[in-house]
């Protein structure tokens, strides 16, 4: 290597920053897809009863069950 050419070294965390950007893009795309699904569900007349608030604490239902229900809905649509 001549004196005028210097090899560029990136810091160790530069790769991690790229991974973060990729992960953020994937999350953004996933949220856009989820938004489309939710908007589709909200526009359907047959989902009106499911828009009513649910007393999750009173029914002693965990948020995990709620999350699984949402995943189920995404698979059904």
Give the DSSP H or E segment for 14.
helix 13-43
For 74, the enclosing helix (H) or strand (E) is helix 63-76
The tens place of each residue's pLDDT in the chain, 77 residues long, gives: 445 555 666 565 555 678 888 888 998 998 899 899 888 888 988 888 888 888 877 777 766 776 777 777 777 65
| Domain-wise residue ranges, the chain | 13-76
Q: CA 69, 43, 52 angle in degrees (round to 5)?
A: 55
Confidence at residue 32, expressed as pLDDT on a 0 to 100 scale? 92
Place of tokens 């973060």: 20
- Confidence at residue 47, expressed as pLDDT on a 0 to 100 scale: 84
Which has the closest alpha carbon to 55: 64, 66, 43, 69? 66
52 DSSP assignment: S
């Amino acid at each position: 290597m001549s004196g005028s050419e210097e090899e560029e070294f990136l810091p160790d965390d530069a790769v991690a920053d790229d991974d973060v950007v990729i992960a953020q893009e994937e999350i953004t795309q996933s949220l856009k897809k989820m938004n489309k699904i939710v908007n589709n569900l909200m526009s359907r007349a047959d989902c009106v009863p499911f828009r009513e608030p649910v007393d999750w604490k009173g029914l002693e239902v965990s948020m995990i069950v709620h999350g699984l229900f949402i995943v189920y809905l995404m698979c059904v649509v």
